[in-house]
Amino acid sequence: MEQNTHKKDVETFFIDYLNNKEINLELKNALEYSFISDGKMFRSLLLFHLLEDFNLNYKDFLEFGCAIEMIHTYSLIHDDLPAMDDDDMRRGKATVHKKFSEHIAILTGDGLLTHAFEIVAQSELEANKKIEIIKLMTDCAGFNYGMINGQVLDMENNQNLTLEQLENIHIQKTSRLIELPIQIALILAGKEDYFKEMKTIAYKIGLLYQIQDDYLDKYGKSYELGKPLNSDQKNNKFTYASYLNQTDHLIKISKLMDQILISTIDLPKFHNQIKKIDERTK
Ligand code: IPE
Ligand code: IPE
Ligand code: MG
Ligand code: MG
Ligand code: MG
């Protein structure tokens, strides 16, 4: 299957990268354990399918998919730590701090984030594009309306949020890392004119993705998700599942999906990749 080929290619790229480094064995095991897993690689698939819509060969840009997945995987390892969501299962197996130790989990995350930047820096892309991508990685993953700030707000989350405040958290903690592959594809394809338009779409895809994640946390099946149910309730988090009943929650997901699908009709591969999100709540 095409999807599996993309995933395998990213995994092989990552393993080759690790094999060319001197790494403490415990840390290397944890890096591989976290990265080579049942993750969906949704973000890098968005990058690769968008590149294909722009008639570029995704295999020429594997390092960018790998870097994006490294940042995402780091965010999940830290998200699961006892100081954050305190979860024991991720991608169908024990979380990194459970399998190894807390210090290894923290440092595995730190390592993934740090080396994502080296992978991009080492690419053969022209220097100005490389700098643009590195700035974008910082912007989307960082503390200035990026993932880190979203995670801070999520941890401060209390039961009295307005829907607007909740949406604002979701956009920062999730949409920005979904914006990243989309904007990288535009830079690689020389289509920066579409930045603004695609940012709006990326925000909506991220919102959809997180609203669905909130749904599945309450109504999903742990064995399908590979992570525990009711993590949000356990942590007293106000999510879309606290705001909407099950039927309205599903309606919200499908309305947002319809809007996104209409606005991406001219990008068939990207469009089909987004459509696959639906399968998780069917
Ligand atoms: C989980 O992301 C965290 C969210 C932002 C919803 P994914 O659902 O993409 O997790 P993996 O990578 O497939 O494990
Ligand atoms: C996590 O949101 C978003 C990140 C930036 C890591 P969640 O805490 O809801 O993600 P899961 O449900 O643990 O995957
Ligand atoms: Mg969380
Ligand atoms: Mg979590
Ligand atoms: Mg969740």
**Helices 62-79 and 176-189, interaxial angle, to 10°?**
170
pLDDT of 2 above 80: no
**Ligand 1 pocket test, candidate residues 3, 37, 71, 76, most atoms within 8 A of CB:** 76
pLDDT of 116 reads 99
Model confidence pLDDT, tens digit, residues 130-140:
999 999 999 99
Q: Please, which pLDDT band fits residue 181 given cuts at 50, 70 and 90? A: very high
Average pLDDT across the chain, whole number? 97
Fill in the DSSP letter of residue 236: T
Q: Which two tokens stand for residue 277?
A: 């999100």
Q: Please, which pLDDT band fits residue 3 given cuts at 50, 70 and 90? A: confident
Spatial CA neighbour of 102 closest among 36, 38, 30: 30
The whole-angstrom separation of Cα 99 and Cα 108 is 12
Report how far ligand 2's centroid is from the alpha carbon of 40 (Å): 14
202: domain CATH number is: 1.10.600.10
Range of the domain at 235: 2-281
Atom of ligand 2 nearest to the CA of 78: 6
Q: Is 116 left (phi over 0), alpha (psi -120 to 50) or beta?
A: alpha
Model confidence pLDDT, tens digit, residues 244-258:
999 999 999 999 999
Tell me which ligand sits closest to the C-alpha of residue 224: 1
Q: Please work out whether the CB of residue 213 comes within 6 Å of at least one atom of ligand 1.
A: yes
Model confidence pLDDT, tens digit, residues 53-65:
999 999 999 999 9
Report how far ligand 1's centroid is from the alpha carbon of 226 (Å): 10
Q: Please work out whether the CB of residue 174 comes within 6 Å of at least one atom of ligand 1.
A: yes
Identify the residue whose C-alpha is closest to ligand 1 atom 12: 39
Model confidence pLDDT, tens digit, residues 257-269:
999 999 999 999 9
pLDDT of 158 reads 76
Q: Please, which pLDDT band fits residue 186 given cuts at 50, 70 and 90? A: very high
**Ligand 1 pocket test, candidate residues 72, 216, 273, 280, most atoms within 8 A of CB:** 72
Give per-residue burial for 235-250: e unless 16+ CB within 10 Å, then b.
eebbbbbebbeeeebe
Report how far ligand 5's centroid is from the alpha carbon of 17 (Å): 30
pTM, entire model: 0.98
Mean pLDDT of the 221-239 span: 96
Check if the beta carbon of residue 33 is closer than 8 Å to that of residue 99. yes
Report how far ligand 4's centroid is from the alpha carbon of 2 (Å): 29
* H or E element that contains 157: none
Q: Is residue 64 exposed (0-12), middle (13-18) or buried (19+ Cβ within 10 Å)?
A: buried
Q: Please work out whether the CB of residue 39 comes within 6 Å of at least one atom of ligand 1.
A: yes
pLDDT of 159 reads 79
- Number of compact structural domains in the chain: 1
pLDDT of 160 reads 83
pLDDT of 1 reads 52
